């Protein structure tokens, strides 16, 4: 059985020849303009959802950044970023009729936005630590941003590796 709804064995039993089956499969597999347009709308909407989820998760991380250090903090960051990354992979890879450039843009744009967002959040939490908490040591914004971005994109790259 092919990726379409055309089942060659059934069509052959009904008297179709190989040329007719191939022509039907080509006809079915041709993306229509409205399908491509709709896929682009879904793609950009999915990107907005991922960016919004990224912002929410980074705001949730502020108390953890203030209270925890090292292994516990990094584990929480990896868990939350991996969850957002799984959502990202699920939304982006299940959209049909996308070109390679869309996947490349998403693969660059989302981790970049996540990294910038995490740097800002860590700087805010470090400011809070200096002003109020003073019992905790400030976090390295670049390390946390890199860790968050890497954990965010890993599910997507694992999916790409599994497909190959």
Residue reference for tokens 């502020």: 62
The CA distances from residue 47 to 41, 83, 84, in Å, are 10, 15, 12
Question: 3 pLDDT exceeds 50?
Answer: no
Q: Cα(3)–Cα(1) distance, rounded to whole angstroms?
A: 7
What is the signed CA dihedral for 116, 119, 120, 125, rounded to 10 degrees?
160
CA atoms within 13 A on the CB side of 12: 7
**141-146 LR contacts (CB < 8 Å, sep 24+):** 144/65, 144/73, 144/77, 144/118, 145/114, 145/115, 145/116, 145/118, 145/119, 146/115
Q: What is the pLDDT of residues 130-159, one digit of tens each?
A: 887 666 788 889 999 999 999 988 988 888
Sign of CA dihedral 14, 17, 23, 29: positive
Question: What pLDDT was estimated at residue 4?
Answer: 47
pLDDT (0 to 100) of residue 78: 93
Residues 12 and 9: their CA atoms lie apart, in Å, by 5
pLDDT digits (tens, 9 = 90+) for 89-113: 887 776 655 667 767 777 788 888 8
Residue in this structure with the two tokens 């909407």, named with its chain if needed = 45
- Which pTM was predicted? 0.69
In degrees, rounded to 5, the angle at the alpha carbon of residue 53 between the alpha carbons of residues 109 and 123 is: 75
Which residue in 98, 2, 104, 113 sits closest to 49, CA to CA? 113
């Amino acid at each position: 059985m092919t990726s379409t709804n055309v089942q060659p064995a059934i069509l052959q039993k009904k008297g179709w020849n190989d040329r007719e089956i191939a022509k039907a499969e080509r006809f079915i597999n041709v993306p229509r303009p409205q399908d491509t347009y709709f896929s682009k709308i879904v793609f950009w909407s999915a990107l907005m959802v991922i960016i919004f989820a990224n912002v929410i998760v980074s705001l949730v991380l502020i108390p953890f950044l203030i209270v925890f250090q090292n292994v516990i903090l990094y584990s929480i960051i990896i868990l939350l970023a991996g969850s957002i990354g799984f959502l990202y992979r699920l939304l982006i890879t299940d959209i049909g009729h996308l070109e390679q450039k869309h996947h490349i843009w998403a693969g660059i744009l989302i981790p970049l936005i996540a990294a910038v967002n995490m740097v800002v959040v860590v700087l805010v939490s470090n400011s809070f630590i200096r002003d109020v908490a003073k019992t905790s040591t400030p976090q390295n914004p670049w390390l946390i941003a890199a860790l968050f971005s890497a954990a965010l994109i890993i599910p997507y790259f694992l999916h790409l590796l599994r497909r190959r």
